[in-house]
Structure 1
Amino acid sequence: MKLTHIALCAAPLLLAACAPTVNETNQSADPETPETETVEPAESAGRPAWTKGAMVAAADPRAVEAGLKILGEGGNAVDAAIAVHAVLGLVEPQSSGIGGGAFMVYYDYEADELTVLDGRETAPAAADENLFLQDGEVLPYVAAWQSGRSVGVPAMPRLYATAHEMFGKAEWASVFQPAIELATDGFEVTPRLGGLLSNERLRAAMRLDDDPVSAAYFYPDGKPLAVGTVRDNPEYAATLTALAKDGPDSFYTGANAEAIIAAVTAEPLPGAMTVQDLADYRVKLRPAVCGQHDEIRICSAPPPSSGAITQNMIFGLYNRSLPSDGDLAEEDVLMAWVEAQRLAYADRDHYVGDADYVKVPTEDLIDPAYLDARAAQGGLLDGTPQPGDPGEVLGRGPMIGMWGRDMTDETPGTTHLSIIDQYGNAVSMTATVESAFGNSRMVNGYLLNNELTDFSREPRVNNQIVANAPAGGKRPRSSMSPTMVFDENGDLLMVTGSPGGNSIVAYVSKTLLGVLEWGLTAQEAINLPNVIARGRTVGVEIDVPKGQQWADTLSAMGYVVEERTGENSGLHTIVVRGSYLEGGADPRREGVAKALAE
């Protein structure tokens, strides 16, 4: 496979000059531009020492600096990820926090091993398929979102502890210090946080300014926090201090657990979570699922994440859908990408759920023989794509009838961080509280999630259960796609991921194709217009360069195009370029990619 099917430096898809801009949002850890001394990686007995530098890419500069501080003190990628996310939970509470969950993909350089830590929130033991039904009717999304029924058992503190116990290098307490200090001293409210708090449409939907606790924090004197305001959060500092001192039991038992249950079981529509549900929560270790694409291997999280299935399907289907002869035109590339997305989304919507509860044909969906057959079903244009049947294609018997069709929407209250440390280890972690500001219920300085609305609120279609129906202890399906790519030698090549609800699948595929197929830098790939092809309609971001042109092109080809603005991607990507690291951060949010100074 050629990694540059289309050389965008000389092709119509060109967005900007091909030379990367070296700045805080697209910075190279190039040994020719040292700044200050850093920790030297130790020589490994099994593998050569990593000499390509270290980098952190995340959604807020203060979080990135926290991660770099931990790396500079000798910590590794897991230590830095905890520090970064603890800060994000403070300064970006609309997207994630310790009241939510995450999928973490960790690459151990010395062992040359990948591990997926499934920190997805779970439904309370008492939940069943009728979780979001009332009087036999499906609850509307907003009612479900703001109800106590939507809160899943939080996962982040247990994920922090599990990852650190397995892989961490720094002292446990030290990784929380940057967030504790910032919560104590106060942080400046950014335009994105301030804008969401003052968004009248969002305020009308959520209860953030109605609940006395969250209203006092986010709407002092009845007014939303203004951009530039310095906001402290002593309760969050105290929660993290207890976590640093006593570990995750300080969160999952005792006074904090009782406060969570009090919030969840409050009106409207109280949830059924118990202190036992909290005490029982555990992170699940899952093998990463990788797809081989000639010279490269794409690896991501397995179900209940959609990452491994969708990213490998889209990449494989894209390559199978391109014309085999002649030069590629812009229309060829766009159509191949759109059709690959539509087919992958259709299969994902039908088959993916919590594999501990339902049979998910993960390996079959990314099998090359199935992708060959599935690609032949493209070219639907204005039709509605239907799920395929990998069992029938692969001679294992039809399996499409196992589940009803599910088109659950997931909203974009999520964040992503990518890290490569000075030892060669890497973390790709996507974390979430589901919708903006989660469930609007605030406990001890942090917000609870509304993750259970990622289940299908309608559990049956034509009286047939869907794979992603609610159940006690089950983890809802996720679009989160924390992804790593390895080259033909098995060496780490790329770390990427994004927030964005069900659009995450499309966003992340853009960076994979942009870097690996279209010859772009990390930043150029991120800057490309977002194109989301789930179902009959193709959404195209038109308020960025090339966006309107792409929308017009796809419309002229016969697609039903929805022109979109204000896309909510938050891509953070690191690419290994020979002897240095190249980073990119999504300009649609407030993040940066920054190298550890040498």
Structure 2
Amino acid sequence: MNKFTLCYSLLFSAILPLQSVAVTPQETREPEAATGLVQQQLTRHANAMVAAAHPLAAEAGKRILQAGGSAIDAAIATQLMLGLVEPQSSGIGGGAFILHFQADSGQLTSFDGRETAPAAAGPWLFAEDGKVLGWREAYVGGKSVGVPGVLRALADAHQQFGKLPWAALFTDTIAAAEQGFIVNERMAKQLALGWNQGLRQLSPAKEFYYPDNQPLAAGTLLKNPEYAALLRKIASEGVSAFYQGANAEALVRTVNQAAVNPGTLTLQDLANYQAQQKDALCIPYRVYQICSMTAPSSGGVAVLQIMGMLAQFDLAALKPNSLEAVHLISQASRAAFADRDRYLADPDFAPVPVAGLLAAEYLKQRAALLTGRDQAFSAGQPEGAQPLASSQAVEFPNTSHLSIVDATGNAVSMTTSIENVFGSGLMVNGYLLNNQLTDFSLEPVVDGVLVANRVEGGKRPRSSMAPVMVFDADNQLKLVIGSPGGSRIINYVAQSLVAVLDWQLDVQQALNLARFTHRNDYLALEAGTELVELAPALQELGYQVQLQDLNSGLHAIEVKPTQLEGAADPRREGRVAGF
């Protein structure tokens, strides 16, 4: 294996007293950040397993697996429950990226359930009176709502890979919605902090989440009969009950008559929505194959780029989260984010040079730039690249991920989101609507050059969601993993892949590791962890360091010869369930 030599004289420079390290103020920290990290223990089961962001969701998926359901059956049941008990992060009003592995055929396929912009949306959607709205102005209300895609994608996947009847997958969530569930501390905290200003402005969400103008308290029994009624209809009639008829009419009316930022969604936009089935992207790494989503998921491409660059180095010789490892992984991330910001968008609307970005020679060239001091990266020139402007779009970490392996070895890695915490603040029939259109660049042109990820009618906004599967040298499934976390998903997933594949940690040890992220802006170290001790040396290497709460929400399953080993990120309330 070719390896480049790190500048060890820099890496082992004298550690100076901690100077000028920014600590993110509490009021501006990410709303799902952890408060006190309690490490989880590895979970083992012999037959089948679900790792998801809420105990009730994991149990719903487990019951489907116990009934003989497939991995995709369990994913549907898990997602429906997440939409009830974790509505701030995902739900049927949002979208998802799904990787599916069929064990008997070895087929790996992906389903793109990303939202689309209404046909009437144009590049200046988020401009008023000649001025582009700020993100906090843009996400609330109707303009930011894309056509939801998660149900259509799941229905398409079920048609091919489901075993149990569609209606059987809804039973647990309907019962929980009617009987009620207990509001947990994370949801209560998010409501108390008031991160989503739309919830206090827009009916019926404000009455549902702030009864008597007070946020729901932890321990409250919360019922959602409207959600139950809609699920009964979708269970019996199929997804057409969501995309057409009374629900579609209510959805369009809610978006277009929103008290804040009314939108332009139509019944035709909903009826015309199609999920896209695509081949997964894969790249060799050591003896493994790492696979993820293609565009408009920048997450899959960026994770694979990072791993392709890191393949040039002997990471196994470095200690987990050592100074050398943090430096090298951060530089690879900087390079990947530079390319992401320039080139990644919906390939149906913009030229996305995916093959060029993942070409072995291109990644080797980029890897040669990683050694030495910290440096800002510019986008490279992969084969197929066209002149475009770099632009960033805000992506907040209010997303969810689930990993599933069923009793016959089929697997699902699914990342699902409504974008900001509680989405757009708009609520229809018991579910929240996404604000995914703010994942587009709010400015369509930078310095006279078009931005690839600009708003266009029917287009899918760029995403950082990165569901991943890893296969061993015998093409056997080894790992199912993914995370929420906005654009930091890319860092969380890549770091965890290194932990399992190079450092030989078990999946729970990998998820328990302290986090660090770099998005070609600054280096964030997880506050309150041993990484803080590296800050002076990293500053000496040129990094702008900030200490932050980094709220990954990884869920992973590793396939062993005689059992499954599952893990849930200790930063959230996720659980592993199986048998």
User: If the length of structure 2 is used for normalisation, what is the TM-score?
Assistant: 0.91
What residue number does 2:557 align with? 574
Give the drift of 1:381: 3.8
What residue number does 1:257 align with? 248
Determine whether 1:541 maps to 2:533: no
What residue number does 2:131 align with? 137
Q: 1:442 aligns with which of 410, 427, 444?
A: 427
SS in 2 for 1:320: coil
Q: 1:174 aligns with which of 151, 154, 168?
A: 168
Q: 2:44 aligns with which of 25, 28, 46?
A: 28
C-alpha distance 326-168 of structure 1, shift in aligned 2 (>3 A)? closer
Give the drift of 1:323: 8.4
SS in 2 for 1:117: strand
Cα contact 2:331–2:374 (8 A) shared by 1: no
Give the drift of 1:25: 5.5
Cα contact 1:510–1:526 (8 A) shared by 2: no
- Paired residue type of 2:214: K
Give the drift of 1:550: 3.6
Moved more, 252-261 or 372-381: 372-381
SS in 2 for 1:131: coil
C-alpha separation in 2, matches of 1:250 and 1:381: 56
What residue number does 1:508 align with? 493
What residue number does 1:333 align with? 325
C-alpha separation in 1, matches of 2:523 and 2:74: 37
Q: How does 1:48-197 map to 2 (within 5 A)?
A: 53-197=47-191
C-alpha distance 369-352 of structure 1, shift in aligned 2 (>3 A)? same
Q: 1:282 aligns with which of 248, 265, 274?
A: 274
C-alpha separation in 1, matches of 2:153 and 2:442: 27
Q: How does 1:173-322 map to 2 (within 5 A)?
A: 173-200=167-194, 202=195, 205-265=196-256, 266-321=258-313
- Paired residue type of 2:209: F
C-alpha separation in 2, matches of 1:552 and 1:523: 29
Deviation digits for residues 479-526 of structure 1 (CA, Å, limit 9, x no counterpart): 000000000000000000000100000011111011001111111111
- Paired residue type of 1:403: L
Give the drift of 1:326: 9.7
C-alpha distance 358-165 of structure 1, shift in aligned 2 (>3 A)? same
What residue number does 2:446 align with? 461
Cα contact 2:318–2:325 (8 A) shared by 1: no
Cα contact 2:73–2:169 (8 A) shared by 1: yes
Cα contact 2:315–2:502 (8 A) shared by 1: no
Cα contact 1:290–1:300 (8 A) shared by 2: yes
Deviation digits for residues 276-333 of structure 1 (CA, Å, limit 9, x no counterpart): 1001111110110100123100000100012331111111212325589999992222
Determine whether 1:451 maps to 2:436: yes
What residue number does 1:562 align with? 546
Give the drift of 1:382: 4.4
- Paired residue type of 2:224: N
Cα contact 1:26–1:592 (8 A) shared by 2: no
What residue number does 1:14 align with? none
SS in 1 for 2:437: helix
Instruction: Extract unaligned runs of 5+ from structure 2.
Output: 3-38
Give the drift of 1:242: 0.4
Cα contact 1:485–1:492 (8 A) shared by 2: yes
SS in 1 for 2:295: coil
Deviation digits for residues 27-60 of structure 1 (CA, Å, limit 9, x no counterpart): 1114xxxxxxxxxxxxxxxxxxxxxx21100000
C-alpha separation in 2, matches of 1:324 and 1:61: 34
What residue number does 1:470 align with? 455
C-alpha separation in 2, matches of 1:184 and 1:272: 33
C-alpha separation in 2, matches of 1:559 and 1:24: 31
C-alpha separation in 2, matches of 1:412 and 1:536: 17
Determine whether 1:413 maps to 2:402: no
C-alpha separation in 2, matches of 1:494 and 1:310: 18
Deviation digits for residues 252-271 of structure 1 (CA, Å, limit 9, x no counterpart): 11111111111111232211
Cα contact 1:430–1:497 (8 A) shared by 2: yes
SS in 1 for 2:345: coil
SS in 2 for 1:526: helix
C-alpha distance 562-329 of structure 1, shift in aligned 2 (>3 A)? closer
- Paired residue type of 2:523: V
Give the drift of 1:358: 1.1
C-alpha separation in 1, matches of 2:351 and 2:70: 36
C-alpha distance 87-325 of structure 1, shift in aligned 2 (>3 A)? closer
Cα contact 1:433–1:448 (8 A) shared by 2: yes
C-alpha separation in 1, matches of 2:558 and 2:438: 34
SS in 1 for 2:204: helix
Deviation digits for residues 70-121 of structure 1 (CA, Å, limit 9, x no counterpart): 0000101000000001000000000000000100000000110011000000
C-alpha distance 412-64 of structure 1, shift in aligned 2 (>3 A)? same
SS in 1 for 2:200: coil
CA RMSD, 1 decimal: 2.0
C-alpha separation in 2, matches of 1:250 and 1:25: 42
C-alpha distance 323-191 of structure 1, shift in aligned 2 (>3 A)? closer
Cα contact 2:285–2:311 (8 A) shared by 1: no
Give the drift of 1:148: 1.2
Q: 1:551 aligns with which of 535, 540, 545?
A: 535
Between the two proteins, the alignment pairs up a number of residues equal to 543
Give the drift of 1:402: 2.0
Give the drift of 1:529: 1.5
User: If the length of structure 1 is used for normalisation, what is the TM-score?
Assistant: 0.88
C-alpha distance 152-562 of structure 1, shift in aligned 2 (>3 A)? same
Determine whether 1:529 maps to 2:514: yes
- Paired residue type of 1:488: A
Q: Runs of 4+ in structure 1 displaced over 6 angstroms?
A: 323-329
SS in 1 for 2:108: strand
What residue number does 2:32 align with? none
C-alpha separation in 1, matches of 2:430 and 2:119: 26
C-alpha separation in 2, matches of 1:120 and 1:329: 33
C-alpha separation in 1, matches of 2:244 and 2:41: 40
What residue number does 1:593 align with? 576
SS in 2 for 1:149: coil
What residue number does 2:335 align with? 343
C-alpha separation in 1, matches of 2:427 and 2:118: 19
Cα contact 1:236–1:446 (8 A) shared by 2: yes
SS in 2 for 1:452: helix
Cα contact 2:151–2:239 (8 A) shared by 1: yes
C-alpha separation in 2, matches of 1:289 and 1:323: 23
C-alpha separation in 1, matches of 2:89 and 2:289: 30
Give the drift of 1:593: 1.6
C-alpha separation in 1, matches of 2:259 and 2:57: 34
Deviation digits for residues 112-162 of structure 1 (CA, Å, limit 9, x no counterpart): 001100000000001111111222221111111003110000112212211
* Identity %, equivalent residues: 45
C-alpha distance 328-196 of structure 1, shift in aligned 2 (>3 A)? closer
